[in-house]
């Protein structure tokens, strides 16, 4: 059954592991072989942990054997023996954590991020750390200091960013699921570009402890999988209160049953006019509208709504996020850790070390953020941006008095070619126009595949919900995926 192992989702694999039809060791070895075969092209991983992965797989198999023999009565966790990948901005003790940057090229954290610890405690097998735009600043993974990742559907195209390595790993069968982070769309956009399902939880729903920060008021730890069913398993595991994170919400870990309600009758999806604008790739708009008709057939009412401050989301984000990045990245002073360039005098050492350690996009955002926070400009830029952010949040609050979820494209286009936006940062930023508002408002969002464009590249749609309503978004997506097969299709561009 080895050839078919890479076709399994988390839920399917878990069921076969429990009955003994497959072993975690065979499943893990299949993933490692796929990495060996495909990652030279896709460059999804920055660091692999094969020995540790096989050790954890053997432990899982031993535990399954004991359960089947009746020697243990502990309940089995759904991630036991499941091979996963971790975005390289989440710390894993004893394994280097580069954040896709030369600044942290040799940094080995002495602790494990809370979300990673949760999946390890539930028995997951960690295959390694995945590629990312440097410090999660980017939308294509091209900003990684170690080279770009590539899209499994067409390696000439980007997999999205900044969690492009995690998305590419799952889409290509190198891992059954993965963790990523979403600051302005960095889970949802790669999921859409790679044809998989990606969940961005409510801000504060998953602990950020052990996540190397980019924008502290925006960062969310999320997950990738092939289906909503599998994303729900990952979300159940990583969500929960953590006193080490001051923004963590004191809400119990969820217990999700996606089939608890038969159908979606009575639910309302809002269609914001501001998200269906000129410039959207026609294939993308048509696929999203077709998906909305499918939801309508499932009993959902489609309601036109307006979110008038959407147009300000892009400039607001690119003031607030760089400002927070400027403050967060000030800690890399070449003294305690990070890239070091010995120079006579601390100031010269500081300048040269940071100049060499940070890449162009990180430097650009540090400068933007420092300017926005500087004396005489704080009120005009950062202060005003925070006021407009409140208006964007109010747009969502008003919308959710009328509807249960909001639907929109994930991105205006499908995955663009590597290098296509290399000399035009603004065109790259504009690609996030539909994902940024959810981060500014702190609401959850889920992206899932809804079709393909004329070049056979995946198209994604997103649903956004009220704070802490991840279960509803997962249930709606699951209902759609029971009626369609987009999430079951796999790339074949020489990858599998």
Peptide bond into 200 cis (omega under 30): no
CA 260 – CA 248 distance, rounded (Å): 28
Question: Residue 52 has which token pair?
Answer: 């540790």
CA 302 – CA 290 distance, rounded (Å): 12
Q: Kindly state the DSSP code that residue 87 receives in the 8-state scheme.
A: E
Q: Where do we find the tokens 């070390």?
A: 353
Q: Specify the length of the chain in residues.
A: 496
CA 186 – CA 106 distance, rounded (Å): 24
283 contact partners, CB below 8 Å, separation of at least 6: 414, 451, 452, 453, 454, 459
485 contact partners, CB below 8 Å, separation of at least 6: none
The number of C-alpha atoms within 13 Å of 238 and in the hemisphere containing its C-beta is: 37
CA 179 – CA 473 distance, rounded (Å): 18
221 contact partners, CB below 8 Å, separation of at least 6: 90, 113, 115, 179, 180, 181, 201, 206, 207, 208, 211, 238
For the annotated catalytic residues, the residue numbers are 87, 162, 186
436 contact partners, CB below 8 Å, separation of at least 6: 184, 185, 313, 314, 316, 317
Q: How many helices (H) and strands (E) does the chain have?
A: 16, 11
Question: Which strands make up the sheet holding 177-182, listed edge to edge?
Answer: 45-48, 125-130, 83-87, 177-182, 220-225, 197-200, 445-452, 458-465, 405-409, 268-272, 301-305
The number of C-alpha atoms within 13 Å of 298 and in the hemisphere containing its C-beta is: 24
CA 495 – CA 489 distance, rounded (Å): 13
Tell me phi and psi for residue 450, to 5 degrees: -130, 10
Bridge partners of 458, per DSSP, are 452
């Amino acid at each position: 059954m080895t050839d078919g192992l890479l076709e399994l989702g988390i839920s399917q694999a878990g069921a076969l592991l429990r009955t003994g039809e497959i072993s975690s060791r065979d499943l893990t070895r299949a993933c490692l072989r796929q990495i060996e075969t495909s990652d030279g092209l896709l460059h999804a991983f920055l660091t692999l942990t094969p020995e540790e992965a096989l050790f954890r797989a053997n432990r899982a198999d031993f535990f399954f054997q004991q359960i089947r023999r009746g020697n243990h009565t502990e309940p089995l966790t759904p991630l036991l023996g499941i091979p996963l990948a971790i975005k390289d901005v989440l710390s894993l003790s004893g394994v280097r954590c580069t954040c896709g940057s030369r600044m942290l090229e040799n940094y080995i954290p002495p602790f494990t991020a809370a979300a990673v610890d949760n999946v390890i405690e539930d028995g997951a097998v960690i295959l390694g750390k995945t590629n990312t735009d440097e410090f999660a600043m980017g939308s294509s993974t091209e900003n990684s200091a170690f080279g770009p990742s590539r899209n499994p559907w067409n390696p000439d195209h980007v997999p999205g960013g900044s969690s492009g390595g995690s998305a590419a790993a799952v889409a290509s069968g190198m891992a059954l699921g993965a963790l990523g982070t979403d600051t302005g769309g960095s889970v949802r956009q790669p999921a859409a570009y790679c044809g998989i399902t990606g969940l961005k939880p409510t801000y504060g729903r998953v602990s950020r402890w052990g996540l190397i920060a980019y924008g502290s008021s925006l960062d969310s730890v999320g997950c990738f999988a092939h289906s909503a069913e599998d994303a729900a398993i990952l979300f159940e595991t990583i969500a929960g209160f953590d006193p080490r994170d001051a923004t963590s919400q004191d809400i119990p870990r969820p217990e999700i049953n996606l089939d608890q309600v038969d159908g979606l009758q009575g639910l309302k999806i809002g269609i914001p006019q501001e998200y269906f604008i000129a410039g959207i790739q026609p294939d993308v708009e048509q696929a999203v509208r077709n998906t909305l008709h499918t939801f309508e057939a499932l009993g959902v009412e489609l309601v036109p709504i307006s979110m008038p401050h959407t147009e300000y989301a892009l400039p607001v984000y690119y003031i607030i996020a760089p400002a927070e990045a400027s403050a967060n990245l000030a800690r890399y002073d070449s003294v305690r850790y990070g890239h070091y360039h010995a120079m006579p005098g601390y100031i010269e050492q500081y300048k040269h070390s940071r100049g060499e350690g940070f890449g162009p996009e990180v430097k650009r955002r540090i400068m933007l953020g420092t300017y926005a926070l500087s004396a005489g400009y704080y009120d005009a830029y950062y202060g005003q941006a925070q006021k407009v952010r409140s208006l964007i949040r109010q747009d969502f609050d008003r919308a959710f008095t009328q509807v249960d979820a909001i639907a929109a494209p994930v991105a205006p286009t499908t995955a663009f070619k590597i290098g296509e936006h290399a000399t035009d940062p603004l065109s790259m930023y504009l690609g996030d126009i539909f994902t940024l508002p959810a981060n500014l408002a702190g609401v959850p969002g889920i992206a899932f595949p809804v079709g393909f464009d004329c070049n056979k590249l995946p198209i994604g749609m997103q649903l956004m919900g009220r704070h802490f309503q991840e279960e509803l978004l997962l249930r709606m997506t699951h209902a759609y995926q029971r009626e369609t097969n987009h999430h079951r299709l796999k790339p074949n561009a020489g990858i599998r």
